Chain A
C-alpha cells in the first residue's frame, strides 16, 4: 500500500482534485468555465479552429461528390413527379399560404427594433455523444455574452442558448440538446397553443426536439410552425424553432407530444448572432 500511495502519486491525484474543485466553484459561483478550463480553451482554440476548417473542407468535398450522385438520382424521380404535381393545384395554394406565413416570421428583425445582438463565429463542435453543443469565439473578455442568452441566425431562426461563458469562447447548447427547454407557440393560433419545446435524449441523435404538454383541444398537424412565445422573458417572442414533424399520443394515454424538425441544418453552422438585449412587443 505504501508503494502504491507514494508522494508523487498523491501529488498528481491531488492536483486533479484541486483543478476539478476550482472548476466546480467557478461554474457554480461565477457562471464561467473556470481559470484552468478557460486557459486550456484559449490555448487550444487556434488548433481546434484550424482542424475544424480542414475537416469542414474535406467534408464539403465528400459532400459535393455524394450530392452530385444523389442529385442525379433525385432528378430522375423529380421528373416523374412533375406530372403528378401539375395536378396538385390545391396543394400549391396551401404552400403559397405557408410560404407567406413563414416570410412574415422571417421579418423578425423588423418587428424587434430594440433587439441588440452580437455576431460570433463557430469554432468547433462539442465532441461528446450525450449533448449537442458547439463553441463560439466570444467570451466575457471580448463581448457582452452571458449565460442563458439566445443564439440565432440573422433571420431569427433559433439555434440554441449560451450555456457556459469562458474568457474568449463560450459553449452554446443547440435546441436539440437535452438541457434546452423554452416556452413556445405552435399551430395556427387556434385556442391555447402554448407548449414547452425541449431537447430529448431519444430524439437528439435524429436531430429532432420535442413538444410537450400539448393541449387536447389544440389542432396540431405535421408542418405546423413552432415559435418562441417570449413567456418567461428568457428569449424574445417569435423566434422560429422549427416545424412539427410527427404527433404521438403519450405512452400513459393522457395527452399528446410531438417531434419538431429544426428549420435550419444544425450541422452547418458558421456564424451566429447572440441576443444580448431585447424587448418583447406588448
Chain B
C-alpha cells in the first residue's frame, strides 16, 4: 500500500475506532444487560487487522488499546500492549493463513474477546485476599464474550466496507503504474 493510501486508511479506521469507543465507553454503560457492558474495541481491532493486514492492524490495535486503557479501570498499559500484539498477530495471520470473510471475522473476534476476558480475569485469579470463585469469573467472562459477539455482527459491515474501500483504492493506484510498465 502506498504511503498516502496508508495514511487515509489509518485516518478512516481511527475515526471508526473513535465512534466504536464512544459507543463502548459512553453509550453502552447506560444500557447494561444484567449489569454487563459489551467489549467492542477488541472486536473492531480484530476486524480491521483481518481486512487490512499487520500494519494498519497493529497501529489500530495500539490506538484501540490506549482507548481501552482509558475506559477500563485496568492495570496501566495492559490493553495498549495486548491489542497492538493482537492487531499485529491477526494481521500476519490474514496475510499468510486466514482468508478474510465473515466466518473468519467471527472466529478471530471470539478469540480476541476470550483473550481479553482472560487478561481481565487475571488480577482476580492471583488476588491473595478475598479470592473470587473461578466459576464466577468464567461466568462473567462468558457472558461478556457472548454479549460482545452479538454486536460484532453490525461492526463487521463497517469493517468490511472500510476494507473494500482500501482495496479499491490500492487497485486504482496500481493501474497507471501497470500501464506504464507495459
Contacts and interface: CB of A to CB of B under 8 A. Distances in A.
B36 A59 contact: no
Contacts of A126: 29, 71-73
Contact of B36 (A34, A55, A129, A206): A129
A128 B29 CA distance: 9
Interface stretch (A36-44, A86-94, A220-228): A36-44
Interface residues of B, number: 53
A37 B69 contact: yes
Given A12-B55, A20-B80, A55 B26 contact: yes
Contact size range, A: 35 or more
B96 to A, nearest CB: 8
B34 A23 contact: no
Given A127-B72, A128-B74, A9 B58 contact: yes
B25 A127 contact: yes
B176 interface: no
B27 interface: yes
Interface stretch (B16-24, B102-110, B157-165): B16-24
A13 interface: yes
A17 B21 contact: no
B94 interface: no
Given A200-B130, A201-B124, A37 B70 contact: yes
Contacts of A47: 18, 22, 26
Contact of A13 (B37, B74, B85, B121): B85
A10 B133 CA distance: 39
A24 B120 CA distance: 17
A129 B34 CA distance: 11
A23 B69 contact: yes
Interface in B7-45: 18, 21-31, 34-37, 39
Contacts of B31: 55, 59
Residue in B18, B30, B37, B136 whose Cβ sees the most chain A Cβ within 10 Å: B30
Contact of B26 (A8, A51, A163, A202): A51
B150 interface: no
Contact of A127 (B55, B71, B77, B123): B71
A171 interface: yes
Given A20-B78, A23-B80, A44 B21 contact: yes
A262 B73 CA distance: 21
B132 A201 contact: yes
B62 A128 contact: no
B54 A206 contact: no
A17 B67 contact: no
Interface of B: 18, 21-31, 34-37, 39, 54-55, 58-59, 61-62, 65-67, 69-78, 80-81, 84-85, 88, 92, 120-121, 123-124, 130, 132-133, 136-137, 140, 144
7 contacts: A8-B55, A12-B88, A17-B81, A40-B67, A44-B70, A55-B30, A129-B144
